[in-house]
Structures are given as C-alpha cells and as structure tokens.
Structure 1
Amino acid sequence: MRKLMNRTAIAALSLAFATEAMATEWNVSLWGKRRAFTEHVEKLAELVSEKTNGEFTLNISYGGLSKNKENLDGISIGAFEMAQFCAGYHRDKNPSITVLELPFLGVSSLQQEIEMSLAVYQHPAVVADLARWNATLLMPSPLPQYNLVGVGDAPTMLEDFEGLTVRATGGIGAAMETIGAVPTSMSASEVRQALDSGIVKAVSFAPHAHMSFGTVENGAWWTTNLNPGTVNCPVVVNTDALNDLPDDQREALLGSVDEALDYYVDFYETKTMDAWGPALDERGIERITFSDEEVAAFKDAAAAPAAQAWIEDNTARGLPAQELYDLVTGMIAAQSK
C-alpha cells in the first residue's frame, strides 16, 4: 500500500510539473492607458487565454516595462515578448514600414489600413528589416486620418500654418513642413505638457488620442479635413519567443489576430467616434474646415515630394523602396475602383 501511495504521489507531482512546464506567460509592453488604440491587444490576450484554457497568458503593462520609443529595443534583447510601437518614433530602426506613413496616400477606412499594412508586413524586405531586431510583425493598429487640435488663433488658410509649432511625426510632420509649420516629434505621453506650456501650438493625433492624452482639455480648435495621413503602429513579438511556443499556443496566438482586429475596428468606429463629436461640443472647440482648393493645394505641396524623397532615401539604404511604394499605392488604387 505504501509503495502504491508513493507511486501515486510521484505520478501526481510529475503531472503537476508537466502542466506547469506547459504554461506560458508573455509580458507585453504598451504605454499610456487602456484605450481604443490598445483594444486589439487586450482582445488578443482574452482570446489566447480562452483558447488555451489559461495555459498561455499575455501580461499587459502600460509603461511598466519600457518607454514607448524603446519598445523595439526591448523586443530585440528579449526583455519582453510582445510590444507596440509607432514607426515614426524611430524611422531609422524600421525604415521599410514608414512607407505606410507617407502623407496623402488616400486610405479611406480602417479595414483598408489593415489590409495594406498586412501586405507590407509580409513583404520579404520588411520581414528582413524587422528581423534585425529579432522582431516578427504580428498585427497593425489601424488609425484614421490625423487632424490637429490647437490653441491660440485658429488657422483658416494654409498660409496661417507658417511658423506654427506642431507635434507631428513621420510623414505627417514632413507634410506640415511643406506649408510652413514647424513639426516636432515627441511621444504621445509628452504632448499634453508640451501643449499646455506652449512648446507646441497644435498636436496631430487621431481622435482617440486627442481624448486619451488630454489635448482637448485646453484645445481651442480642431481641423476637420486636413487629413494629411496617419501613423503606423504595429504590434510585434520576439521571434525567438514565437518560435519557442508549443504548436497549439502558437496557433492560438496567430489564429486570434483577425478576430482581435475585427473587434478593434468595431470598437473604434462605434465607441470612439461616437464620443468624439460630443467631446468637442462639451468643450466649445471650434471646428475648422478647409476648402477643397486648400486641401488640394496641401496635397500637391506635400504628397509627391515626400514620396520621391522616401523612395530615394530608402533605395540608398538598400531597400526595394519603389517596389514597396508601388505595393501600397497599387492596393489603394485597386480598392478605390
């Protein structure tokens, strides 16, 4: 009987250790606070846990693991297994995906942004570019066209942007520069203080970020239709960690991406955009709408020069820049038909 009990105990312990060994926990580095911009990551964590009966969990941290501009570095050294970052924060680290941040590409929906981003992410040159950081691109964080919230006198013509200090990253910053604005790149968490202190007079954000990071609290005006572009902010995973996952857990992760993105789009298009108009009205923020001629002039000044400069600079880096640009613009042209 004693021998039988010992064998039973050993078997139970062995099973417990095996179960523990199969459990996987990943740390995920985000920033700010939970908001529309992070809902696909939150949903992904929920789905992965459900599909693996809690054996694979994503522990999401908002700023506790890394600064947002250092998330790609953290991924590269395995400090955490998953992270979100924006390409415009460090264009030199991820030049291939900055094609998605070129101004006036003409993207008209979040779903179109997803399809275009995923196509770029799967391009061999892009895969190789991110592999330098031991990173695998998992999914985008699709955002609508950016517009400005600002303080002081509202610009009503393009010439009014001359000398205006604007928080704008990537291609949006380059576009603003063509009409005389002075773009400044800073992380989202720094923006409210910069606007309140007068370091910048306007901030380029998508609606959710204007609400989440408080630019609407002291903002006086908002541009409804400049629509210079958006930023591309992928979610990446450490490649070694991804490869080390058991097959069922890898399938749970990769197989949940589409559902997580569908949830994100629905959340953004309903809850976020439904709250945007009332947020402006409650604070008495003036809506500035530019004429079709003004918007066309802005596009003429910014789009072609920015694209040509991007192609030349990144061809010199050894990237198939023209091919990547043609991939993006070709998809947009095809979908617009």
Structure 2
Amino acid sequence: MNMMKTAAVAALAFGFASEAIATEWNVSVWGKRRAFTEHIEKLAELVSEKTGGEFTMNVSYGGLSKPKENLDGISIGAFEMAQFCAGYHRDKNRSITVLELPFLGVDNLAEEVAVSHAVYAHPAVAEEMAQWNARILMTSPMPQYNLVGTGDPRDTLDKMNGMRVRATGGIGEAFKAVGGVPTSVPAPEAYQAMESGVVDTVAFAQHAHLSFGTINQATWWTANLNPGTVNCPVVVNIDAYESLTDAEREALDSSIDESITHYLDNYGKLLAKWDEVLAEKNVQKVMISDAELENFRATAAGPIRDQWITDMSAQGLPAQELYDLLVSTLEKTRAGN
C-alpha cells in the first residue's frame, strides 16, 4: 500500500512538474489573420513542433491591447510577444524610423527584410528597445504604400495639396511636404475614417487595403506612387526571452528565417493577384507621371532625410550611421543578387 501511495505521489509530482515546464506565450497583434501576420502564425507553428508542444504561442488579434499600446504592454510584461509599427509612436522607437524615411529606393520585400534586420542589429537600436524591455525578433516586411481614394484621382502634387490622408511616419511627412494633411489613425480605424470623411485617402500596402476594407470604398488606386513603407517589428519581452530554456530559445531563434520565407512566399501570391482584385472591385489603376514622381521625390526625399538626421543626431542617436548602414546594406543585397 505504501508503495502504491509513493507511486501515486510520484506520478502526481511528475504531472505538476510537466505542467510547470510547459511554456505558453501570449502574442498581441491586431485586425485579423492576414499576410501581415503570417510569419507570426508560422513561428508559433514551428516553435510548437520543435518543442513537442512544450512551448506554445497564443496569437490574439486585438484581445490583449490596442495597436498603439503594444510596446507599452511588452514593457510591463502584459504579454510576451507583440507586433507594432514605428509610426504609431515615433518618440518611443526613434532609431528604427530611419526605415520609414520616404523614397529610400527599396524595391521589394527581400530588400526590406535585409535593411530592416541590419538596422535592428545596430547597438543603438537594441539599446533603445531595451528601455521598453523589448528585443526585436524580426520584421514584418511590406511593399511600398499606395493610395486609395474616391472621386477624382489624386495624381498630381497640386491635387494632393490639402488632401487628408491616413498615413504614418515618413510617408505622412512626405505627403505633408506637398501640402497634404496626414493623420495616423490605427489601421483598424482607417475604413471608418474614410467612410466618415475624416480622411480623403488612405495609404496602405496591398494586404491592408484588403484586410481593413478600404479597397471596398475606393474608386482608384495609385499603382506607382511608392512614397515609402511602414516598419513594423515583432518584439519579445526581454525577461520572457531570457527565461526560456536553451532548447526553447533555440527553437524560437532557429524558426525566424523559415517564418520570414513563408511570409514572403505568401505575400508574393497576394501581389500576383492584385490586378485581379482591382478588376473585381472596379477600382481604377492610376499611374503617376514620371515628372510628378520626380517633383515629389525632390520635395520630400532629401529634405525629410536631412531633417531626420539633424533631429536624431541632436537627440544623441547615431543617425548618419544608421542611414549609411541602410544604404550600404541595400547596395550589398543588390550586389549579392
């Protein structure tokens, strides 16, 4: 009998120990599952597979935090992982806003991954993120943003003067430079802002125009404006990351590249079907003239870049170094291809 009791106690103790060993992370994103979150979903899948289900991630679409508060949530340990966009709170993540400068010349998602991860690896970025108890895990690469709108297309700089546009970060600054009036409402609120007339146009990547419904209100889309993109890292709480076992941390770190590859493959399929989407929704594809594009770049690119370097340097950041790193990484990536 005593032996049976001993065995029962041992089994119970093992059960508690097994339960204690399992690691479960909460991940805060927003909207709904879409191309923008596929690398996070893939990461969760791979980590669970590699650890035999002992390390799992619960991806919450808006149930844990508002988009603009995800970095704050990470800082206090409200959840272990989150996605955020630099333009939502530029003062909290100043160093990575170099990636949101307009007209950087990044042509595709692979180049966006390369320049983002190079900048993320800079000590100044790691130091700034550590102030929020955050460690950047990977980027959420997005193609160049373009506008959707109703009425007459905003296909010249004159027509953009006074235009109320949902745009964040450097893209917002670019439109401001040509007389636009940018507002940084969170992505889930863009449809309502457009519907109610708070904004005339919305600047998004293709997946977001679909996911947040702005394409459903649009009568036109600018195919080649390409003023820039938004940088949206996936971060983890430093304490949670350091609390992982060696095996769990290896499972997480070793899954990043495959998750990014999955993201790129998935997004590529969306881009391949974009013209079909426009035709299906009867949205006019608007091409901006070369002369207007050159005027836009001349007005926005250099002045905004120079001002960013001046402002960030005055705040003690190695701004010129970060910008040069971005440029050199872009050149090396293209040379390697």
Bin of the TM-score, shorter chain as denominator length:
over 0.9
Matches within 5 A, 1:176-187: 176-187=175-186
Report how far residue 198 of structure 1 moved: 0.9
SS of residue matched to 1:227: coil
Count of aligned positions: 335
Match of 1:280 in 2: 278
Report how far residue 113 of structure 1 moved: 0.8
SS of residue matched to 1:203: strand
Q: How many angstroms apart in 1 are the aligned matches of 2:132 and 2:99?
A: 19
Q: Which moved more, 1:77-86 or 1:150-159?
A: 150-159
Match of 2:321 among 297, 320, 323: 323
SS of residue matched to 1:138: strand
Match of 2:54 in 1: 55
Match of 2:304 among 306, 309, 316: 306
Supply the AA of the counterpart residue of 2:42: K
Do the aligned residues in 2 keep the contact of 1:84 with 1:233 (CA within 8 Å)? Answer: yes
Q: How many angstroms apart in 2 are the aligned matches of 1:298 and 1:196?
A: 27
How high is the TM-score relative to the length of structure 2? 0.97
Match of 1:332 in 2: 330
Match of 2:217 in 1: 218
What is the RMSD of the two structures over their aligned residues, measured on CA atoms? 1.0
Match of 1:263 in 2: 262
SS of residue matched to 1:332: helix
Report how far residue 335 of structure 1 moved: 3.3
* Identity across matched positions, percent: 60
Residues 1:131 and 2:150 are matched in the alignment: no
Do the aligned residues in 1 keep the contact of 2:118 with 2:329 (CA within 8 Å)? Answer: no
Match of 1:156 in 2: 155
SS of residue matched to 1:148: strand
Report how far residue 25 of structure 1 moved: 0.5
Supply the AA of the counterpart residue of 1:317: Q
Deviations 1:57-78 (A, max 9, x none): 1011000000000000000000
Supply the AA of the counterpart residue of 2:118: A
SS of residue matched to 2:273: helix
Q: Which moved more, 1:226-235 or 1:112-121?
A: 112-121
Supply the AA of the counterpart residue of 1:334: K
Supply the AA of the counterpart residue of 2:134: A
Report how far residue 279 of structure 1 moved: 1.7
Match of 1:88 in 2: 87
Q: How many angstroms apart in 1 are the aligned matches of 2:333 and 2:68?
A: 33
Match of 1:36 in 2: 35
Supply the AA of the counterpart residue of 1:52: T
Do the aligned residues in 2 keep the contact of 1:152 with 1:201 (CA within 8 Å)? Answer: no
Report how far residue 203 of structure 1 moved: 0.4
Q: How many angstroms apart in 2 are the aligned matches of 1:66 and 1:156?
A: 37
Do the aligned residues in 1 keep the contact of 2:114 with 2:333 (CA within 8 Å)? Answer: no
Q: How many angstroms apart in 2 are the aligned matches of 1:297 and 1:334?
A: 28
SS of residue matched to 2:26: strand
Q: How many angstroms apart in 2 are the aligned matches of 1:90 and 1:9?
A: 54
Q: How many angstroms apart in 1 are the aligned matches of 2:193 and 2:16?
A: 52
Do the aligned residues in 2 keep the contact of 1:194 with 1:200 (CA within 8 Å)? Answer: yes
Q: Which moved more, 1:86-95 or 1:292-301?
A: 292-301
Match of 1:242 in 2: 241
Residues 1:79 and 2:73 are matched in the alignment: no
Report how far residue 104 of structure 1 moved: 0.6
Supply the AA of the counterpart residue of 2:179: G
Supply the AA of the counterpart residue of 2:310: E
- Given the superposition, is the C-alpha separation of residues 53 and 336 from structure 1 closer, same or farther in structure 2, using an over 3 Å criterion? closer
Q: How many angstroms apart in 2 are the aligned matches of 1:241 and 1:332?
A: 33
SS of residue matched to 2:97: helix
Do the aligned residues in 2 keep the contact of 1:105 with 1:229 (CA within 8 Å)? Answer: yes
Report how far residue 20 of structure 1 moved: 0.9
Q: How many angstroms apart in 2 are the aligned matches of 1:220 and 1:289?
A: 14
Match of 1:229 in 2: 228
Q: How many angstroms apart in 2 are the aligned matches of 1:178 and 1:153?
A: 21
Report how far residue 274 of structure 1 moved: 3.1
Report how far residue 99 of structure 1 moved: 0.5
